[in-house]
Amino acid sequence: MSLGSVLVLDSDREQARTVSRLLGQQNWTSVLSFNQDMALKLLRNSRFHLLMFDSYVDGQNIISHIDAIKGQASDTPLAIMAHAWQGAKALKAAQETAKAAGADFMITKPLHPDRLKNLLQETNAYHRARRTEFHVLVIDPDIDLRNHLAAVLKQVGYKVSVADNMEDAFFDHNLGLIDAVLTAILIPGIGGVEGIAQIRKDFPHIRTVAMSQGIDDKIGAMHVLAAAKEVGAEILLPKPFVMPELLNAMATVSRDKIQAKAAEVAGT
């Protein structure tokens, strides 16, 4: 599954293919364009999560055309790719000029996988900051319960995705665009505790709510959930719970973003 789409503009076809290959390694898809007219035509007909444009295309300074580019994709972040051989002073000057012209990010070529990974994380943060809805991922192997929880959360205004297990969550969803995870703990494969620990490590922006029943008469729900709390679960929901308890939990984890958005709107 693709985590996002990128429009790459580079007149050097070999370098464009290299960028595409590196994006593919991060599970992002790419569309290649080799001149500005081709890129603008693609922008008119398609939507992308990110634009990665070389600073010079066919001898033209792309930075001087950022207004036209943004006019076609005002809600898509633009990353300008500059060449390391230009030197630190020239790179800094290009960065300042690009930022002043409206570019959102700068990245140097040749691309390093870690720098590209950081760029994609910043892209996700860019889109999260501009969303009005709160996106919840529900993880539970019980399909009936999973769908019921999703339906309730959608009814009260959340955007909701679902996953059967942690493997599905990590490989079939772009967790960079998820705001909160509501997960069962006793699930096959990567368990809920290990999954929460990994989420807290790789996606610290995600709020986590753990839910679980007990194992037997000696190991109750709160014993299971205690392990989830140790690795970073913020709210614990012992099963069975009633819907007001679920909604209160989700309201708690979403409150920070909602209040921040309200303050932003009030200040405009």
CATH number of 91's domain: 3.40.50.2300
Residue 75 belongs to what domain range? 5-130
The residue from 86, 107, 130 where one domain ends is 130
> Is the pLDDT at 96 greater than 70, yes or no?
yes
Rounded distance, CA 117 to CA 203, Å?
Answer: 13
Q: What is the pLDDT of residue 82?
A: 87
Reference 177, options 115, 245, 235, 124; nearest CA is 124
Provide the residue type at 44 as one letter: R
What's the number of domains the chain is made of? 2
Reference 177, options 207, 155, 206; nearest CA is 206
| 39 and 121 assigned to the same domain | yes
Provide the residue type at 175 as one letter: L
Residue 84 carries which DSSP code? G
Q: 120-149 burial, b if ≥16 CB within 10 A, otherwise e? A: bebbbebbeeeeeebbbbbbbeeeeebeeb
| 125 and 139 assigned to the same domain | no
CA atoms within 13 A on the CB side of 52: 30
Q: Over the stretch 192-216, which tens digit does the pLDDT of each residue have?
A: 999 999 999 999 999 999 999 877 7
Counted residue by residue, the chain has a size of: 268
The residue from 78, 111, 130 where one domain ends is 130
| 165 and 242 assigned to the same domain | yes
Least confident of 68-72, 172-176, 241-245, 252-256: 252-256
